[in-house]
């Protein structure tokens, strides 16, 4: 993809920081792809959703790559798929790491981590930071609960150039995606519905299509 990976752009030390609207466009595009995968006749769970697997074209439209760890999801009355634990530490859902039980909510958790990276400009795992801040989800989750804390965790490179209302909604969405209880996380279709109104207008004045 001509735009490269989100990881390479978001964490670049030489490129200009991604604007807020572009970050939301990337999150929305990735959510739509995950939703499409889950709505197939035989649902697909990506299992290794992370920044490096989200690729962009020159207009920042998101595509997913590297389906090597993707797994057919549960069908019928099955609640989960039991499988060997694989994926990337920091992005993988805690219940999957503990039990090997894979559900659509596993991808929702991973999406929450990526959304948090887009909000904060921090990597999901950064051993150069103080011990309590090295794992992004552990550090940020308590701070997402109160609006007064949110400005303090936003990527400082944005220099305040973001709408507070959109920040609050996006942060609350990340908070719910990262819920330790998988049954309490939002469905991917709910995530798409929440992100859609936050998208910047298209050239014709409308919103990006779902």
Which residues are marked as active site? 48
User: Residue 21 CA to chain centroid, in angstroms?
Assistant: 15
DSSP structure string for the chain: -TTEEHHHHHT-SSSPPPPHHHHHHHHHHHHHHHHHHHTSSS-EE-S---GGGEEE-TT--EEE---TT-EE---TT---EE----S-TTTS-HHHHHH-EE-HHHHHHHHHHHHHHHHH---SB-TTS-GGGSBHHHHHGGGGGSHHHHTTTS-GGGTT-S-HHHHHHHHHHHHHHT-SSGGGSPPHHHHHHHHGGGSPP-TTSS----
From the CB of residue 169, how many other CB atoms can be counted at a distance below 10 Å? 16
Bridge partners (DSSP) of residue 82 are: 101
């Amino acid at each position: 993809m001509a735009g490269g990976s989100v990881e390479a752009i978001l964490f670049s030390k030489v490129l200009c920081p991604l604007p807020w609207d572009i970050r939301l466009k990337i999150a929305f595009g990735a959510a739509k792809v995950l939703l499409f995968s889950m709505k197939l006749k035989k649902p697909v769970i990506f299992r290794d959703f992370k920044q490096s697997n989200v690729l962009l074209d020159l207009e920042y439209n998101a595509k997913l790559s590297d389906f090597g760890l993707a797994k057919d999801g549960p069908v019928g009355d099955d609640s989960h798929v039991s499988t060997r634990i694989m994926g990337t530490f920091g992005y993988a859902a805690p219940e999957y790491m503990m039990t090997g039980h894979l559900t659509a909510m596993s991808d929702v958790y991973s999406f929450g981590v990526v959304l948090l990276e887009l909000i904060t400009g921090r990597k999901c795992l950064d051993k150069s930071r103080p011990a309590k801040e090295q794992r992004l989800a552990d550090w940020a989750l308590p701070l997402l609960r109160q609006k007064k804390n949110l400005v303090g965790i936003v990527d400082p490179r944005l220099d305040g150039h973001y709408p507070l209302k959109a920040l609050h909604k996006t942060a609350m969405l990340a908070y719910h995606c990262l819920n330790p209880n998988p049954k309490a996380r939002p469905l991917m279709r709910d995530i798409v519905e929440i992100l859609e109104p936050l998208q910047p207008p298209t050239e014709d004045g409308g919103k990006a299509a779902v």
